[in-house]
Structure 1
Amino acid sequence: MSIKKKLQVKESTVYKNIVAENRKNAIKRESYVERLLKNLSEHKLKHGRNLALIGSLNIGKSFILKEFLKRASDEENNGNENNDKKSSEGNSVAYVDFSKIGLTPEELARSLLLSVASWHLKKDVSDLDECKLGFESTRIVEQVKNEFLKIKPDHKLLLQLGFNFSEALCKDKSSTDKNNNLRMVVCLDEFWKLLDFNNYDQIDDVLNLFKQIVFSQSHVKYVVIGSAVTLMKDISKRLDFEIVEILSMTSRELSHEDNADELYYYSAGVPLYVNALKNRQKIAKNSESEMSIKEAFVTETLWKSGAIYHACERKLDDSLDRARGRGLLISILREISAANSSGLRLSEVSRGIYRSAGVTKNLVERLVKVDLLVKEAGRFRFNDSVLKYWFKNFVSGNEFEEIPIKNEIRNIEVDL
């Protein structure tokens, strides 16, 4: 099977995969879902906002977004069934994940057209010609296909065409049915990856280009999503998007759970960690044995196949991939992970890695920008207490190849 064919199969299942998501183990974050649904309703009345949904890895963005997309799609389907065909005003949603596509102008344009058409038609769309849904959308499809045939395509034009397709589709619906005032909310996941397009000569400033497109559209609003929190906040300010930051759960949100205070302490309120601890206890109970929350935490965090272990490993790798100088950054993290919860001063870090204050300051600031560290009262500490515990043990080799037994984990100290 060709690469192109593989991409088509993958894209064609996006809509089905999201609306059929199994969410039985998810921690519900209802207020965030309601915020997105409210904005969708306001958009129908021409009062909607462009939003930036921001939150670190493991904080529950995927569930919130998928729950929003599912409910929005359900509401749209119910509305279409109940409304008279002569008056079919409504909203539509679409979703594109920038981390799942090749970040070239050609691939981005193609993915935007196919994904938006798939969501709008509620069926798999894998051919660009299927995106011809009226005069405006057909014009864009033909322009995109023409650029694909060129030896040197216009990269800036391809981005403009891709991002303008949803607006064109809405206009097509209005022109064919005067009673249809279709509006759309397009969700762009891991949006910060769009910055890669600044590497193309024809694209001087991709954020400025996107902003010009966004504010020229009247039928479409955007929700940009990202786990690069600090970077996404800067991007959102440049775009003039309203920031909706997803925070860790509070102890009050976990108050209905057994041993709520202990669960909150070991999970730091991070939904993925909460689920991991509860699932580990459930597995132990099904095996007719009891496991404390602390024992569940040590198992999931230090066992190489544990859910928290994998989550922390991914978070570290993703963050360091966005920074430079991985070797020295690891050294800095090692020094700070060995400190108490208040962290270290810059001078203390500098002495620990045998580098000047100037060099150390530059490196530490990189770690702050990729959300691994935070600075408080002149001291640097880990942004995630669970990640700090995992990293300290990871670099020391304190981990388990096989699932540990009670005797192995009973006396392990945990100080978050």
Structure 2
Amino acid sequence: MALPKAVYVHIPFCEQICHYCDFNKVYLKGQPIEEYVKACEKEMKEAVSQFPYDHIETVYIGGGTPSSLSSQQLEPLLDSINQVFSLQKPREYTFEINPGNISDEKLSLLKSAGVNRLSIGAQAFQEDLLKKIGRAHDEKDIYRTIESARRMGFENISIDLMFGLPGQSVANFIESIEKSLELEIPHFSAYSLKVEEKTVFHQLQRKGKLPLPPEDDEVAMYDVLINMLTEQNYHHYEISNFSKNGYESLHNLTYWNNEEYYGIGAGAHGYVSGQRYANVGPIKKYINNVHSQGRPLLESHVVSTAEKMEEEMFLGLRKLEGVSISQFQNRFNKDPFEIFGNNIKRLKSEGLLKVEDDRISLTKNGLFVANEVFEKFLL
């Protein structure tokens, strides 16, 4: 069985809660951050002792808002990650930051710890839209943050954009893409809004107070995104991700390639030794469980062969290159057509899938209804 080569560390603290976010997060003020960092280190050590690794290739610190931690809080976290996983210049080490809350001191600390990629949550460039979705930054903060990052030597920078937001027009989204392109960022992630339960937007939607764009406008936003970025020689390599050559997110490809990884922190998910697991979410419960049990599991289960085959298909189809037929055969000693042949044939006849050489992949029409396609591969 292949050993995990990736690590995800979750930092659940935020200075402001965005109206769309359903990730595990809490307000920063008054939280036991130092205790949390120590608990993360203990969990890392316990995970590694139970499920050893050979070499870690990618690390991703996400949240929440990791950049909301002070330098004094970040330093021991970064040190423990480097020590527990014996990091020797990983191929990719990503740190999520919000515009406006990262100082040169923090950037220098990240750089010295080996972080070589930044993911910046811009989301939009219109200040009225940023306020509507609960973001704390403004347009100028985006420019200042990217300028600071480059001054401190960061070249591998990704920017997040969102579309389908309340009150957002197609023209708004085109403007955000244009302003992002002017920054010559090597990687884009662009996601349509999904209204999740337990969010401010869900509460507003229930009251009929969430003015979402028409579905046709949302489709037009995605279409213009694809066209504008591909025209500028960005590689559309995953449904929501675009990059210049050599700047694809290696860590996220771990997920889409259905490979194993450690998930560390409150509410984090992981996949090791054929087991998918989720950690408890509440901060104090996470800390207590780490100290009493070592691993703060909420749930864990061994992934069956049938589930692995399903995941191989619907995760792999997120990539524009799709699923490798020969790799599927090597992993499961079965042909994907033997398991999913009828659905592949039907989706191909509907113009949503294509089969070329060794690959099964989404067509452009399939990209627009990807979730419906994925559902066809659940046995």
Normalised by the size of structure 1, how large is the TM-score? 0.29
Structure exhibiting the larger radius of gyration computed from Cα positions:
1
Normalised by the size of structure 2, how large is the TM-score? 0.31
Answer 1 or 2: which has greater helix percent.
Answer: 1
